[in-house]
Amino acid sequence: MSKIVSLDEALSHVIDETSVMIPGFMGAGTPDKLVEGLIAKGVKDLCLICTDTAFPGVGVGKLIERDMIKKVMVSHIGTNPETGRRMNQGLMEVDLIPQGTLAERIRSAGAGLGGFLTPTGVGTVVEEGKRKIVVNGKEYLLEEPLKAEVALLRGTKVDKKGNIWYNAATRNFNPLMAMAAKTVIVEACELVEVGEIDPNNVMTPGIFVDYIVKGDA
């Protein structure tokens, strides 16, 4: 059965209040065609899990501007004033998570772990509501795995089985998120035949990918 589907069919898995992981570092590596598809569909009250909210008019910043996000779980928001405004006015919930902790929470979900211990955040507001565990006299926070219903990825080169290669920094959170969502959709900048990607260059195996949408180069 082919994994290649239309944009509309792929995004049928995203409805109001869906939790969605979208990668990208200040817009680099974000699946722009899928983001535009979400805008055209008009879904709302999404829970967005991402490393940052990019810039106004860029990447996931477009979703913020259009009031499509109810809650964002993110490592920083400094490059997007609109995110800060909405947070300060109580229009959108923002859960700020240290970037390394965010990455490891997503990785833990993909690896089937029950969580991990980290000293990051001990003695700060980050520890509020979290369990502390002492190991060899040192305090750690127990951070729980973070998963989503849908992950929207962007691959530089994707074969028809869903194996993915990412170019340079566009890789960022893509491989982690591919393992931590129930349904994984990848936007392929270049769609190629199976075997055209050297196995040594496969960064996300096709076993993690459910649907492929042809994007723009």
pLDDT tens digits along 129-145: 999 999 999 999 999 99
CB atoms inside a 10 Å sphere around CB 115: 16
What is the predicted pLDDT for the residue at 142? Answer: 97
Angle among Cα 196, 210, 42 to the nearest 5 degrees reads 120
- Cα 164 to chain centroid distance, Å, stands at 16
**Residue-range domains of the chain with CATH:** 7-214 (3.40.1080.10)
CB 20 within 8 A of CB 48: yes
DSSP-H helix ranges across 74-199: 81-88, 99-111, 174-178
The pTM assigned to this predicted structure is 0.94
pLDDT in tens, 145-181: 999 999 999 999 999 999 999 999 999 999 999 999 9
Single-letter residue type at 112 = G
Q: Is the dihedral of CA 8, 171, 84, 117 positive or negative?
A: positive
- Given a cut of 90, whether residue 217 has pLDDT beyond it is no
What are residue 93's DSSP bridge partners? 71
CB 19 within 8 A of CB 41: no
pLDDT in tens, 182-213: 999 999 999 999 999 999 999 999 999 999 99
CB 24 within 8 A of CB 30: yes
